[in-house]
Amino acid sequence: MSHDKAATTWIWDCTAGRFNWFYDIDETVYVIEGSVTVRDHQGATRTLVSGDIAFFPAGSSAEWTVDEYVRKVAFLRKPTSPWVRLLQRVCNKLQRMTRIRSVKIATPTAFGVP
């Protein structure tokens, strides 16, 4: 779990079957082994195989059909509101603007010192 408790990472596997999944947080998956056919709420299908990456935004749903076996890494992150993201960007910019920049001060050397 991340420091702000907004993100987690899971390894998940499943044998043959079909089920509906509702995403209440953003999820990015990386298929490690096997395959799964995913159908979104509009009826579009995509088969994910080992090495594929897919993103499922919070609020979406999908029907998963696993023919034999699938194993994935799931990266889950709670989405933040646009206002929170704007505030974060403003704070980051202010931090960058107010940083004290280091100034290199020349020091005299043995050569040419009066």
Mean pLDDT by 10 residues, the chain (114 residues): 86 97 96 97 95 96 97 92 84 82 56 52
Q: Determine the Cα–Cα distance for residues 46 and 28; give it in Å rounded to an integer.
A: 15
pLDDT at 112: 54
pLDDT at 104: 58
Q: Determine the Cα–Cα distance for residues 61 and 22; give it in Å rounded to an integer.
A: 4
| Claim: this prediction has a pTM higher than 0.85 | no
End-to-end CA distance of the chain: 61
**Domains, the chain:** 7-77 (2.60.120.10)
Work out whether the CA dihedral 41, 26, 8, 75 comes out positive or negative. Answer: positive
pLDDT at 97: 82
Query: Is residue 30 classed as helix, strand or coil in its secondary structure?
Result: strand
pLDDT at 84: 82
pLDDT at 95: 85
